[in-house]
Amino acid sequence: MTTTNHRDTPPSLSPDDIIRLAQYHTTAPLHPFLLSPTSHQTLISHLHTLSPATVSQYTSSLLSLLSPSPSLSSLITPLIISYINLFNSHKIPHDRHSFKTLQLFSPHLDNIPITDLQLVSESIVNGFPQINSDPDEAQLLDLLPKCLHTVFNSDEIDKPRDSVNAVFDRVLEFNWSGVLLVKLVSIIREFQFIDKVRVRRLVAKVFDEMHRVELQDLPLLVYQLLVLASKGVNKREVIEGIIVFFGGKAGLEKGGSTIVREVEGTVLLHVNFAVKQDPSLGQEVLGLVRSDVLVIDYFVVGLLLSIARIRRYGENVMGTLKTALSTSYKDHKFSRHCKWLPDGLKKEYLQNAISTEAAVLRAVNESNYGREHVVPSIVQLGFVLLESVEEMSHQELDNTGLMGSQELGLQMLKSLFEVHDMARNEIIEQCKFRILSLKPEQSVAIIRLLGNLVKNYPHPMLEFISHLKELLDYFGFMQSKVASHLIDVLLPLIKFSHNLQDYIILVVRKAMFRQEDQVRLAAAGAIINLIIAERQCKQNKPCFYQESSSQASSSQVHEGPPVISNDLFKELSGLLQRCLYQQAKVKEVVYRGLLKLVLVDPLTAGEVFDFLLPHFLKFYKEDGQLDIIQCVKTDNGKICVVEPLDDLLSCVSWILLLQPQAKSDVRSDSWASFGFSLTQDTEAQGTNSGESFSSALSTIRKLLRDGNLEGLVGQTKDAGLTSQLEERYKYSGLILSGVIKVILNTIATELEKAVDDKKIELENEFSDLVDLYVSLEKNVANSTQSDGTRKGTTQSTAVDPTYKNESDNTKCIKEKAPVLATSSICQLFKTSFELYKHDTTKSKLLNFVLNAIVFQIKSFAYVAKDDPLKGLIYGDIKLLGPPLLKLIWLLMKKEAKGKKDNGDIKGLFSLALMCLKELVTVNSHSGEEIREIEEMLLESVGEDVSDSECDHEYQVNGIDNQREKRLVTKFVKPLFSKLLHAKFFHEVEILCDIAKMIWSNILGSWAIHICKSNNIANPKIAKSVVTLALSCTQAPNDLIVAQEMAMELAKTMRSPSEKSEIYAIINRSTESAIATGLLQLVESVIADMDRLSMKLKTCLAGAYKDGKHNPYFTLEETLYQRAEAVVELLSSFVVMNLKDSQAEHLLKLAAKFYKNLARISKFHIAPKGCKQILPSLKCQKLVEVTCTRLTAPLYVFVGSLQQNQKESKASKGLINKIKRENRCIPDLIFQIEDYEKYLILLSKATKINLLRHAKRSTARDFRITEPQNIPQQENGPNQEPLLDPQDITHQEDVPNEEPHMDNDSTPQNDLVQDSDDNTEADALLSPETVAPFAADDAEADVLSPETVTPLAADGSESCSDDENIIRNSKRSRIVYDSDDEA
């Protein structure tokens, strides 16, 4: 028996035998020992006896010999479990042999019993804590998906899904190392049997633990995630996680590492490739950025720029980035002007704008770290920003740290030009193309970029001279300002390229022979600028009035000998001579340019005199007479000025005025800033011509003082003058008035040093010239100036200032530069002031100077910063302030004395305050400038009025600012009182405008005190004071004060009393104006709410995503507080008896307000899949106040309007009024219903009855009947007949009894409980249920909200009334959703 058993037992195999057998294994049957069940224990025991290095080889050999079969499960199961235990305990090496072994286990998993397979899965998961730094430690994870998949599809156990989910939950519970995370992501797409919730948790955990991954593994990880997303697994979560990780953690912790930048560049390439394969990923990226959920950081910008390289996304990405920047600028601009926004949010908006700009610049600066593929996108974005409309002005950008969109685009392209050689050609080509194709206002920014590149990188720009020449070929076809600006920015290159200089001369010479006036004008400016640039190159120094920042730094400009050419002034003198035969505007450009040339190079003064003298002698006779009549000629039947003689004399006069400064070693302060002097050589060169000009000016000066007006303008006394000849004389007078100003400028410089008799003589001459100037103005006052003249309007010096009607001509101010310098005006003002103090008949002198000041200040805003004449002509414009204030106080004293010349004082007061207002306007762009203005006002000589009531008012408000208090008591209060007492009403309005620009809480308190104490009857002044009080009062007190005024206004309108007991300013004559001012305040607040309600959408979206309130809910609380104040304010208006226009305005404002409330309520409803957040107590209070205080009274107000229409006698004006008002009523009712609809949905979602205070089930009946009782003759022959207001019935039913509430959180209202979705809510608010039609005719249909009344129909339609009625009555029963719901 023993022998028989021994014979049946197969011979055993050693591990070496098995390894050898596997090496030489063929298709022959397996060795019996391997198939015998008794050998399984022996085979497994070898795993523990072999050396660690041979265990994997032995196991792989054994598995290679065994084919997958259920009969071998008894061997495979313990074998794999034993091997996994050895692997997890690190008793065998983790290398390629172990990896091969685990791959061989995979085919056998299908034959392992499910219970054993569960053990295998548990063993694999239990080894997670041992997976740390070596990627080979995660080799076991390759078996996990198949194990779980087999278990999931098995029928052998109960609830296989729960078993698989339990294992997966354990996976999510472990702390993952970086290696484990990468491995899990690589196999996650094989877990297709896992539910979406757990996959979402897995993706979230991946990004939570992603910081553990090594830098070099991040690109692979991102690629695996993108592959996962492309398979449809949580696309948005994957994209958002990648953006948040690289834009936040990695960027902050290791932002300075070059390796990090290269890794990010590789990631961007992976994203670009993934979007090409799956375009929906690109849509997810754009959707995330547009939703405002993500902060725009440098990685987001880089990612968008990378996606922009895909053609289908190029324009969308550029639009998205442009919109993001524009939104950040708009938010900051809005926060600066919104006084009720919390300071924390204002700082946050500013910081967001700064960080967005910084993100774009950082993405550009890092474009050379493995992300060169985004360079074309950066070029495109840079030009998009350059062409965009600037959201904020330069004054608003100052002191904020912001650059603005155009400056940001310029800096982007400038950085690319410096770093990337491959981008230079594209940038220059784009500049050339866009300058030629864009509108002039857009191409200016492109030319500015070109000029910046020329100044900062002249030598690289020399490589593109051929491109610039091609651009210059189109000089004659460009708009004049564009052409001139283009030449200006290219001029710095002429010192490096004589070839470019010659080409510019050639182009300009051709342009001078073109027929278009604007082209010749641009060519003349280019000639002058070319000469000036050549002089600067020779002197190797900039113009003395140019900003130093415009010059390139020493590190950027390569040193080298500049190209020196011959004297361009002499070479181009022939071309300049041709300019003197062109139209007057060309000559003006030449004259101003020659003055600039002398400022740049004083040595050219003699040459300029020699050049101008022959031309001047054409209009200057030998006997000293000016042939002014020859300066005006007739061209094609139109009168035009052909010679701007005043500009010629102004140029010559300035050069002569500057010459004496070179003869003296002592320079006055007024000329010290010029930085140059005229040498003796200069005087020698210009002796003959200069003396001739000096003699001529002296003769003209004497002639103006002694000659009569008719002789000066060449006018005869013949009564039979033609109208055309008379017109010529009038234009001659305009030229002569300019010549007078030139002489006055000279007299002003002489008055600075004159004493005794000389001073008296100059004062008399000043007075005589002003008399002549006034006579000239009277001579030309009624002339109608044609478009062909260059002068435009003039400045008035009449006692009753007509400047307000004339010099507001912006075109004139832009085109005509002032002749008088600021320093000269100050001297003339000082002289006229002293004369007026002793002789009030000299008011004409002050009128002249004040008009000159207004023109000077207004034109100051249009002068370029780098204009060389700015320092010469304008100087420090704030020097005009103190003299103006002295005059104001002098006029106050004279008016108090009751002088007879009250008319003169009123005119001077008006002009002086107008000058002060303009001065404050141009110097109120920053806080520092405002403080300087305030100090200037305080330093003026004013009457210090101390009022105990006023002081008490300040103390009550808790304001302790002595400077602001002194400003009110020493300037505003006494001046206001004096002007009001003198009945200078227009001047009081100007004073209120000045006070608003200064703005302080003290001013607001004072203005409120005025409203309470002063019984002002003038409506305009009352409105100005009320507006000042509200605009200078800090929020939320401004709406509280407005509400108090509105309540008093309502009482006054209803009571027989003539004025309010609390606010004396409210009376019968002012109530309408004050009501308009309060409605305008409400309109501005609702406009602010409109913008903030859209920002609230972002806040609530983030809150629902996080499941909790976020810091943005400060905005929500502020918005609700403001909205509640608006409700209280509007509730006072709905009980007033308003004028027609005010009632219409109120209805429109209420409709806008309810639209915002509906939008806010809609945003509060949680999206699908998110937990509903309960509305705050302030939100619930706002709903309650709105329903009780505004909605119900509004229905009464609308009913009263229609009742008034019914009772009023029909007239043409009434018909138009009814039409306007009834266009507003349907929109208002619809917005109210839309708001209530979202309240119903929100009530159902939150289980809080928000409509418990609303008047629901209100039946609004609108019946259309045949038109009656309207006289046909009132409508006119072409006007459509209108329906009688009697045909419109409006009634309100008593609301249903409020439903009983068991508790506050569980509403019993069936309206809320039964409304399952928006469709049901629409049905609840449909016309069939909310506004049943009350007509007897059963076939009549209900009108939609947009056709609630027939009067809303457009009267301009050609169809008849009957057709309109039929059309309206057949409108379908529709309740339209709001705009935001669509």
pLDDT score for 545: 36
> Using 50, 70 and 90 to split pLDDT, how confident is the model at 651?
very high
Residue 162 has pLDDT above 50, yes or no: yes
pLDDT score for 1222: 65
Residue 819 has pLDDT above 90, yes or no: no
Higher pLDDT, 293 or 878: 878
Residue 677 has pLDDT above 50, yes or no: no
Interatomic CA distance for residues 593 and 531, integer angstroms: 9
Predicted confidence (pLDDT) per residue in 406-458, tens digit: 999 999 999 999 988 888 999 999 999 999 998 888 899 999 999 999 999 99
pLDDT score for 717: 53
> Using 50, 70 and 90 to split pLDDT, how confident is the model at 850?
very high
Average pLDDT of the residues in 302-325: 91
The tokens for 539 are: 């002197």
pLDDT score for 435: 93
Interatomic CA distance for residues 142 and 106, integer angstroms: 9
The alpha helices in 1107-1170, defined as continuous H runs, are 1113-1133, 1140-1164
Three-class DSSP category at 564:
coil
CA 819 from centroid of its chain's CA atoms: 37
Residue 632 has pLDDT above 80, yes or no: yes
pLDDT score for 1020: 92
Q: Which long-range contacts (CB under 8 A, 24 or more apart) does 289-295 make?
A: 289/320, 289/324, 290/320, 290/323, 291/1098, 291/1101, 292/327, 292/1098, 292/1101, 293/240, 293/1098, 293/1101, 293/1102, 293/1105, 294/240, 294/243, 294/244, 294/247, 295/247, 295/352, 295/355
Higher pLDDT, 778 or 919: 919
pLDDT score for 383: 94
| Sequence letter at residue 61 | S
Residue 943 has pLDDT above 50, yes or no: no
Higher pLDDT, 580 or 1220: 580
DSSP result, 642-690:
S--HHHHHHHHHHHHHHTHHHH-S---HHHHTT-----HHHHHHTHHHH
Average pLDDT of the residues in 945-956: 44
Residue 48 has pLDDT above 60, yes or no: yes
Average pLDDT of the residues in 801-824: 61
Average pLDDT of the chain is 77
Residue 147 has pLDDT above 50, yes or no: yes
Three-class DSSP category at 763:
helix
Average pLDDT of the residues in 499-527: 91
Average pLDDT of the residues in 670-698: 58
Dihedral sign, Cα of residue 406, residue 407, residue 413, residue 417: positive
Average pLDDT of the residues in 1013-1027: 91
| Sequence letter at residue 375 | V
DSSP result, 247-316:
IIIHHHHSTT-HHHHHHHHHHHHHHHHHHHH-HHHHHHHHHHHHTT-S---HHHHHHHHHHTTSGGGHHH
Q: Tell me, what DSSP letter sits at residue 707?
A: S
Residue 684 has pLDDT above 50, yes or no: no
Q: How long, in residues, is the chain?
A: 1382
Residue 3 has pLDDT above 60, yes or no: no
Contact call for residues 442 and 387 (beta carbons, < 8 A): yes
Residue 72 has pLDDT above 80, yes or no: no
Residue keyed to tokens 């409304």: 1315
Predicted confidence (pLDDT) per residue in 1277-1321, tens digit: 434 333 333 333 333 333 333 333 333 433 333 333 333 444 444
> Using 50, 70 and 90 to split pLDDT, how confident is the model at 1128?
very high
Three-class DSSP category at 1037:
helix
pTM given for the model: 0.79
Residue keyed to tokens 């069940």: 37
pLDDT score for 1375: 36
Residue 378 has pLDDT above 90, yes or no: yes
Higher pLDDT, 495 or 1218: 495
Higher pLDDT, 944 or 499: 499
Helix (H) or strand (E) holding 640: strand 638-641
Provide the percentage of residues in the chain whose pLDDT is more than 70: 76
Residue 1265 has pLDDT above 50, yes or no: no
| Sequence letter at residue 306 | S
Higher pLDDT, 555 or 616: 616
pLDDT score for 1381: 37
Residue 952 CB coordination number (10 Å): 11
pLDDT score for 1219: 63
User: For residue 1107, what are the CA distances in angstroms to 967, 1095, 1101, 1170?
Assistant: 51, 18, 10, 8
Residue 643 has pLDDT above 60, yes or no: yes
Higher pLDDT, 788 or 710: 710
pLDDT score for 1306: 38
pLDDT score for 629: 82
Interatomic CA distance for residues 664 and 891, integer angstroms: 41
Dihedral sign, Cα of residue 1249, residue 1255, residue 1259, residue 1263: negative
Provide the percentage of residues in the chain whose pLDDT is more than 90: 20
Of 283-297, 723-737, 1332-1346, minimum mean pLDDT range? 1332-1346
Residue 826 has pLDDT above 50, yes or no: yes
The tokens for 240 are: 């958002």
Predicted confidence (pLDDT) per residue in 246-256, tens digit: 887 544 454 45
C-alpha closest to that of 671 among 821, 841, 547, 806: 821
pLDDT score for 450: 94
Residue 804 has pLDDT above 80, yes or no: no
Contact call for residues 708 and 780 (beta carbons, < 8 A): no
Average pLDDT of the residues in 1321-1326: 41
Average pLDDT of the residues in 1178-1193: 90
| Sequence letter at residue 129 | P
Residue 954 has pLDDT above 60, yes or no: no
pLDDT score for 718: 52
Predicted confidence (pLDDT) per residue in 1153-1166, tens digit: 999 999 989 888 88
Higher pLDDT, 961 or 320: 320
pLDDT score for 827: 92
> Using 50, 70 and 90 to split pLDDT, how confident is the model at 1024?
very high
Contact call for residues 1307 and 1249 (beta carbons, < 8 A): yes
Average pLDDT of the residues in 510-537: 89
> Using 50, 70 and 90 to split pLDDT, how confident is the model at 28?
low
pLDDT score for 1302: 39
Which range, 708-712, 812-816, 1323-1327, has the best average confidence (pLDDT)? 708-712
Residue 314 has pLDDT above 70, yes or no: yes
pLDDT score for 83: 84
